[in-house]
Amino acid sequence: MTTEYHDLIFERSQPGRTGASLPDSDVDAVDVQKKFAGHLLRDQPAELPEVDELQVVRHYTALSRKNHGIDNGFYPLGSCTMKYNPKINEDMANLDGFQFVHPYQPEETVQGSLQLMHELQEDLAEITGMDEVTLQPSAGAQGEWTGLMMVKAYHEQKGESRKKVLIPDSAHGTNPASATVAGFETVTIPSNEEGLVYVEELKKYVDDDTAALMLTNPNTLGLFEKDIVEIASIIHEAGGLLYYDGANANAILGKTTPGKMGFDIVHLNLHKTFTTPHGGGGPGAGPVGVKEKLIPYLPVPRIEKQGETYVFNSEYPQSIGRVKGYYGNFGMFVRAYTYIRTMGAEGLSEVSESAVLHANYLLKKLEPYFDVPYQQVCKHEFVISGARQKKLGVRTLDIAKRLLDFGYHPPTIYFPLNVEECMMVEPTETESKETIDAFAHVLGEIAREVEEEPEKVLEAPHTTVVGRLDEVQAARKPVLRYMSDKTQES
């Protein structure tokens, strides 16, 4: 990456420069001084950059090029499913009828949008094996919280106040966080040496204070919990519920469903499995599906079909209420719906096959260079360990930094917590064999460097705009707003 001339100018603001010319006002001027002095008016004008349009375009274009995204490189971030977001999704979301719809419009003027949401609910119910779905939650974590609030309502309805939510040690960090926010105590369940739930151990933790078990299957190590049916019956017999973290459903689409495995509640991340943009690319969406016994507690309003008409229905007295303003992130529903309809049932089933094949292929290619803690067929992702490299003085963090030099986003590192020097890799089905081969080759090269010229890895990255950040300072004292030279001086 070269330093461009305009990177050399940090402060672009020039007093009086502007990128906009406003038409003459056609309303009477208000004397702001007189009307708001000492009340709403600032003492000083706001410190805003004064720049022309071209500077703004260059600024944002330059920023976008400093950022790594799925559209400019491989992004094998385990547990996050960074797969390609087809551009047809954007075309559909940008149709005038969807883009300019207003949440306060009367139902009869938004029948098409409601139909799309209703059909998406039905598709997701079928994909997960659930009876009903709400689209409201705007993230995976919010879906978890929504599900857990329903768990709470369900037990309370039966006159029980169960307090414990069981969560395996390999779970995603949002699971214990959501359970805590929902007012439960979390109990960590240890995995066995195969990386799976230790069934005999689990039994010791289950009692009549168990509200739910939260599980993801395949789990965060990319392994299928083969004892899931037995696990489900242990929890159900104790009167608890099973929550499925379906953020990454890439391995099960069209193959099996959480419903079949015995789960009662599922959330999905449209921004992972269903190709809606992820992170800075757009807001999330974390729909939640439930089995029949939990339907009364679903958030309202629910979108229903009455005869040939689609309606909002809030007549559910036991509902946990609204969990999001309006009806969820509608633009994401259009994208996910487009994806599901583009792929069709067979296409989605092929997604799982390819995702699993790609992960196993890459795992085999990396086996000569890295320790593989769990020697079994993986699902859509896998973990390897940099323990061998650590003995030579190079840590997984260094390997991740070195990958940046080759234009790759590193895999997830140091997660799950139960694997030493962990790297968690998810290639996804949308990558070509050539991309996967090239990535494996580069990781092999880095493993060789660790042995022969470790300083190259220890000092990485060499080609990025910035080198190693002080991550503690960046997290504790982030500089998040524009500061002109003047503000910095004062």
Ligand X SMILES: *Cc1c(COP(=O)(O)O)cnc(C)c1O
* Binding interface with ligand X (CB under 6 A): 79-80, 139-141, 172, 174, 216, 245, 247-248, 269, 284, 286
State in angstroms the smallest separation of the CB of 365 from ligand X.
Answer: 24
Q: What counts of helices (H) and strands (E) characterise the chain? A: 17, 12
Q: Which is nearer to ligand X, 174 or 396 (CB)?
A: 174
Largest CA distance in the chain: 78
Q: Which is nearer to ligand X, 110 or 231 (CB)?
A: 231
Q: Which is nearer to ligand X, 179 or 247 (CB)?
A: 247
State in angstroms the smallest separation of the CB of 114 from ligand X.
Answer: 25
State in angstroms the smallest separation of the CB of 178 from ligand X.
Answer: 9
State in angstroms the smallest separation of the CB of 56 from ligand X.
Answer: 30
Q: Which is nearer to ligand X, 283 or 296 (CB)?
A: 283
Instruction: Tokens 């739910």: give the residue.
Output: 212
Q: Which among 39, 307, 268, 281 is positioned nearest to 135, based on CA atoms?
A: 268
State in angstroms the smallest separation of the CB of 250 from ligand X.
Answer: 10
State in angstroms the smallest separation of the CB of 243 from ligand X.
Answer: 11
State in angstroms the smallest separation of the CB of 89 from ligand X.
Answer: 18
d(CA 287, CA 262): 19
Helix/strand/coil for 7: helix
**Chain residue at closest Cβ approach to ligand X:** 140
d(CA 10, CA 49): 12
Q: Which among 327, 333, 326, 325 is positioned nearest to 276, based on CA atoms?
A: 333
φ and ψ of 50, to 5 deg: -110, 105
Q: Which is nearer to ligand X, 125 or 332 (CB)?
A: 332
Q: Is the dihedral of CA 24, 28, 31, 36 positive or negative?
A: negative
Helix/strand/coil for 331: helix
In this structure, what DSSP letter does residue 197 have?
B
State in angstroms the smallest separation of the CB of 181 from ligand X.
Answer: 12
d(CA 223, CA 215): 12
For residue 9, give both structure tokens: 């100018």
Asked if 270 and 121 touch (Cβ cutoff 8 Å), the reply is: no
Asked if 234 and 201 touch (Cβ cutoff 8 Å), the reply is: no
Q: H or E element: which one contains 423?
A: strand 422-425
